[in-house]
Structure 1
Amino acid sequence: MAPSALVAAGQELTVRVPATCANLGPGFDSLGLALSLYDSIRVRTTTSGTTVVTVSGEGAGELPGDESHLVARTLLGTLERCGYSCPGLEIEALNVIPHGRGLGSSAAAIVSAVLAANSLLPAADRMDAPALLQLCSTLEGHPDNVAPALLGSMAISWETGRAFQSTTVRVHPEVIPVVAVPGSELSTEAARALLPASVSHHSASSNAGRAALLVHALGAAPEFLLDATRDSLHQDYRAQAMMPSATLMRGLRAQGYASVISGAGPTVMTLAVGEQQAAAVERLIEELTAAPDEPHGWRVLRLKVDTEGAKVEVHQR
């Protein structure tokens, strides 16, 4: 194998990536929504011969500070795929997206690392948008989080042969995501292990219809959101691993609000319509989580739909 070329030292850039909510109820492994909650990394190439990662915010004091960190590992691996290596690397990671809560923190790390690596390459060797989506989806294992992280808005993703593809839908401006984040984590692998190997034709057809309705509801007709977010494929099966979240979601839905488990959970996201409904959802979450048999530590965030996706800023020195 030919020796790799070195990316230029002295480069500096910042990447900001939004949190995401995948599945959106019936859109299992295919729909994702970008949210106005952001992780960012600042990357500098050096001649030190070492990789140093500094983490603040979520995971500070817990995540590794060397090349084994997910962002560093992915960035260096992406450069290697492209035939390059880095003489030295400094990464400052500011983590705001909660870890292990179903809000796409791992996808944000992968997207930020791949975009950073791509920007460090000479212009002639950089990947285009489809190649970036393909690589990020391959590294994450599926596109439902990385696509909205890259593109913003609501992303619809599918696979043709071995190629991941995605397109976006503009979300109705009155839709306001309200997320309730519990204090406990849940691994995506543990949640996915609870899913059955097969489902009935009735469940599959029900989800297909509601997923189609959800695209229309989010884009143009929010009055259909409650019906459109009913799921038959994954949420009920995973409920046993996150009963407080499942109970909260059901309580919100019983009051007429379009509530879903975000990704693999355990965060609960409600798609409110207008500020008045968003405030009502917040009050109801407070009531439902204040019961003696409910765990403490819920954080409630009223967010926006991110419409831009990941952003790279190159700093001139």
Structure 2
Amino acid sequence: MSYDVIFLLVPDFQLLDMSGPAAVFQTAGKQARTTAGPAYAVHVVSELGGPVRSSCGVEVLTRRWSDAPAGTLVVPGGEGARAAAVTPAMRTYLHGHRQAGRRVASVCTGAFVLAAAGLLDGLRATTHWRHAVQLARTYPDVQVDADRIHLRDGDTWTSAGITAGIDLALAMVECDLGADVAGATAREMVVYHRRSGGQSQFSALQDLAPDSERIRAVLEHIRGNLGAALTVEHLADVACVSPRQFLRSFKAETGETPAKAVERIRAEAARAHLEAGADSIDSVARRAGFTDSERMRRTFLRVYGQPPQALRRMARQGRV
């Protein structure tokens, strides 16, 4: 069976919002090649066809959407998508996919195009965190979740910016062809792993953002050794400074104590395991370096406002 994926471009679109997911479908198509050919056929369309200029100046040749097959429709984001005027013809084209029971998706601010066409009314959706407030204010009928990598509400899929489109495409591949093909595609593309849709658009390491290489090395050491006894003395040794100097420097550069930073990084790792796998709560707690599941539960309540079981349940229901 072959799946058609259609990318709808508007002027000033973000090139990576298209090329990243397109590469996923191309790679997956080769991984699951049949006697009839690759499992995916990728098409790039616009209303009139011809070259469409991206925000970085690169032009992509498109065909008229009237000449393209129906299939999964993906709208990449970019400055043009946020400002795009949805013409009556575009609205008809978008709704035609919905009425035919086809998947409709957006990457980053491509959600503005879907929202302007009325396709997100009453649905949960996400976009780049920087533009989530604007999306919610402009389209109050859309239930905007500003801190998700990607979301699926029925046959409508939305994602955060740039690389989140790759996660969205991998999730679609898993839905179509199974986890083995999605995993093989991620490995072929040298994607570290497929992030579950429920993961935050922010990571603890990005948020802490120290200036010095010394403290960055400590944070990477924490992430790579969650099961170790990450005491102040141990981390000071990693930084090659005294414990007192380490405490002072770490707090000044990250705004957190080492203990709080370790707790946040462990919670982030545990959440990813919970949402992506079937390991028990106790097993996840041990893998993330918590002394026990109760300690992890208290940490989750502080960091996420919900216990681990609730986040896992929501992920399994496809609601995060």
Could you state the TM-score of these two structures normalised by the residue count of structure 2?
0.32
> Which one has the largest radius of gyration?
2
Higher helix proportion (structure 1 or 2)? 2
